[in-house]
Amino acid sequence: MSGRLAVGRTVALGILLALSALLLVASKAEAAKYTVAQCGWYVGADADWADTTGGAKFRSDGYCVPPTGADPFGGIHLKSFTRGSGTVSGTRFARWHWSAPPTTGITAVRGTWWHALHDGFEQRLGGVNWTGQFSPSLSAGNTDTALREFSIGFSSPLPAFEDRLLCARGEDKWCPLEPDSWSGLRAVTFTVLDDTPPTALMTGGGLIAGGWRRGNQHVVVGGADGGSGIRFGETFIDGSRVAISEYPCDKVSIGGEWRATRMRPCRTNESTTHWVDTTKLSDGPHSVVHCTADFAGTNVCTGSQQFLVDNNPPAHPRAVSLAGGEGWRRTNDFDLNWENPDQGQASPIAGAAWRFSGGLGFDTGARFAGGRDRRSLADLSVPAAGSYSLQLWLRDEAGNEAANSAVTIPLRFDDLQPKVAFSTENSDEQVKATVGDEHSGPASGQILYRRVDAEQWTELPTKFDSAAAGAAELIAPMPELGVGTFVFRADATDFAGNKASTTLRADGTQMAIRRVPPPPIARAKPVPKGKSRLFARLRGGHGRGDALTVPFGAPALLSGRLMRADGAGLGDRELRVVSRPSRGALLPAGVETVRTGEQGGFELRLLPGPSRRVNVTFPGDGGQEEARREGLELRVRSGVTLRARPRQLRTGQAVSFSGKVKSAGSPIPRRGKLVAIQYLEQETHRWRPVLVTRSDHHGRFRAHYRFRYVSGRAAIRVRATALAEERWPYAPGSSAPVTVRVQG
């Protein structure tokens, strides 16, 4: 027995050294491992005990957790004992069994063992492979009650570990149960490989629900792990940790190291809620990640998920304007427009909040009009006439709004007519009316009057005196009233455009004044007026008389005499001279005055211009009757110029005529002015036409003539004549003659 034990210990020591080397290599590979403490350090045992005889030949005994404050290793043990007397068949055993969680495996075991073994009994320590086969790594076959430490390493992870008390003989042999044999184990530490990563979860919550977020938001997180279980959960925003959860795990701190107290220390599924204070984040997009770690320290993170944050309310609306202006109006309809501030990275404008308040405690309370990037409010109305204050502020899509950023706009509505009434005080000097309007106030007014039997009202110069808020007076001078009854009317308008009229006094009586005619006065018979005689004629050029023709641009002289019927001259009398231009002239009728001399004579120079008719009138005075001289005709010849080129030519050649018709004070006819080119017939000394042409709209004309039948030498005198036409305010006129010499 002792020889086999020595050999067994030597073999076990070699195996232990080999396993230690493997453990060193494994540690360098930085595999995901954790340690489990059993039966020691105030820790119990996560193991099950069984024997192959059904409890008939073996029994167990375990004591692992002393009272608090006692020696944590005082008397602790996990033991298997033989039971009773008699024998037990070979290969029968009792065992303590530890199972690693699924997806994990035991890579090393260290602890303390001791035993009392007799007649074929052995204590064996070893792993159970994936097929359920037990392979001992350490074994002892004799009694050694000293506490001995051991360390076992496995080249590949194993799903279980066992401590067996075994009848180490063949099945056809047996081992005696007396004296008692037993095996002991304590202060065991398992190293478990857990290289299957956990799963990190982010399953919901307001933070990742979409849309814009503000304030405290939650995210539902968790993890799943089929091995050692979930120990930690951490939530990161933009790479910085904002929350951590340490889930409940069965563990103990030993020498500054956390060790599990169960083979699977943590739960396989965990879920919790992490709260995020978004006010500590900048406005705009952010990313959230949740990471989960199992007890072996393997850390896995979810994919990044974006969310949007906005904790700051929008600034106040810009460029706020009220359609129709902020003044008083008589239509209860208000439309508001504004520009939204630049939100930058923050959430877009989701709508506008508003409220308006007025007198007598009226307040609508806060109201909201939704709409992304809303820039207007239409069809607002107030409950009654009066002045109100509208407060307007903005709300973004995250729900942020600040009423203290509101812009205040006045809403002024007045659909009530002003109250107008004439004063009850009688005055011969002025007419007075009062105007009252409690809302927009009186703006203007007018006092009018008419005879009671007339339809047309006459305005009086009215003074508008705004004496106090909401009140004014209309004051007008009393007009010169004739005989009869006169009615007065007062019109008033307030600043909203409401109008009112009245013909009543404040006491409800008609504002009317009656004037009685004075007694008749005898009138003297009128003195008969003397008859007047007026003579007038025209002079100019080489002629004089009732009708006169002058060259273009020449003046004329009007002269004559004003006399009584007896032929005596009427001196220092004013005469009126009216000149009416002929049809087609642009000039209006001219009116001038001239005074007679001591003997009644007068002269007036008539300026150059188109043809005209001149009338002279004496309007009469206190002693003389009216006198007229009408129908004086002043005719003005047309002005024409003419050029001929060449001035010398042969028979068969053509001469070119050009010139211009002058038109002072008159437009050239639309179709042009008729012009005749004439030559002087020497035998009769008469001007004969050569051709007729028209000028352009500016009076310029051109024409050509070919001399075909001239023989010998001839000096031909030609001229241009502007002919008479309808709506041409000039008499026919000719240019100066031009001589053209033709060689036959």
Domain assignment of residue 126, yes or no: yes
Q: Looking at residue 667, which CATH number applies to its domain? A: 2.60.40.1930
Q: Domain check: are 246 and 352 in the same one?
A: no
The answer to whether the beta carbons of residues 598 and 569 sit under 8 Å apart is: yes
SS3 content of the chain, % helix, strand, coil (to 5): 5, 55, 40
Q: Write out pLDDT tens, residues 30-69.
A: 569 999 999 999 999 999 999 999 888 999 999 999 999 9
Mean pLDDT calculated for residue range 78-92: 93
Does 420 fall in a domain?
no
User: How many domains is the chain partitioned into structurally?
Assistant: 6
Phi and psi at residue 465, in whole multiples of 5°? -115, 105
Kind of pairing, strands 648-650 and 738-743?
Answer: parallel
Query: What pLDDT shows up at residue 515?
Result: 86
Q: Is the pLDDT of residue 383 over 90?
A: no
Average pLDDT over residues 555-579: 89
Residue 82 pLDDT greater than 70, yes or no: yes
Residue 508 pLDDT greater than 60, yes or no: yes
CATH of residue 104: 2.60.120
pLDDT higher than 50, residue 12: no
Count of CA atoms in the C-beta half-sphere (13 A) of 643: 8
| 137 and 31 fall within a common domain | yes
Whether 416 and 326 have beta carbons less than 8 Å apart is answered as no
Number of H helices, E strands in the chain: 1, 58
* Average confidence (pLDDT) over 13-27: 35
Which bin fits 569, alpha (ψ -120 to 50), beta or left (φ > 0)? Answer: beta
Q: Which among 162, 193, 224 is the end of a domain?
A: 193
Domain end call among 515, 545, 575: 515
pLDDT in tens, 696-718: 989 999 999 998 888 889 999 99
The pLDDT value recorded for residue 526 is 62
Q: Rounded to an integer, what distance in angstroms lies between the CA atom of residue 138 and that of residue 506?
A: 128
CATH code where residue 339 lies: 2.60.40.10
In a domain, 524, yes or no: no
Same domain, 231 and 350: no
Report pLDDT digits (tens) over 588-636: 888 999 999 999 899 999 889 899 999 999 998 878 889 998 889 989 9
Tell me if 425 is assigned to some domain: no
Query: What is the structure's pLDDT at 55?
Result: 82
Q: Report d(CA 736, CA 738) in Å as an integer.
A: 7
Q: Which domain holds residue 594?
A: 532-636
Does residue 645 share a domain with residue 631?
no
- Statement to judge: residues 461 and 571 lie in one domain: no
142 and 130 in a common domain: yes
Contact (CB, 8 A) for 380 and 411: yes
Last residue of a domain, one of 159, 175, 193: 193
Q: Are 52 and 152 members of one domain? A: yes
pLDDT of residue 525: 62
- Rounded-to-integer distance, Cα 342 and Cα 137, Å: 76
Q: Summarize the confidence of residues 176-189 as an average pLDDT.
A: 95
Domain-located, residue 536:
yes
Q: What is the CATH number of the domain that holds 498?
A: 2.60.40
Asked if residue 606 and residue 509 are part of one domain, the reply reads: no
DSSP state of 554: -
pTM above 0.75, yes or no: no
Mean pLDDT of 434-463: 91
- In this prediction, residue 183 has a pLDDT band, given cuts at 50, 70 and 90, of very high
**Whether residues 33 and 173 fall in one domain:** yes
Q: Are residues 262 and 347 in the same domain?
A: no
In this prediction, residues 571-593 reach a mean pLDDT of: 89
More confident residue, 600 or 542: 600
Residues 148 and 210 in one domain: no
State the pLDDT confidence band at 9, using cuts at 50, 70 and 90. Answer: very low
Q: Is residue 521 part of a domain?
A: no
**pLDDT at residue 149 in the model:** 96
Same-domain check for residues 503 and 564: no
Domain for residue 539, yes or no? yes
Amino acid at 93: F
Helix (H) or strand (E) holding 8: helix 2-28
- Is 527 among the domain residues? no
Local structure of residue 70 (DSSP, 8 states): S
Residue type present at position 284: G
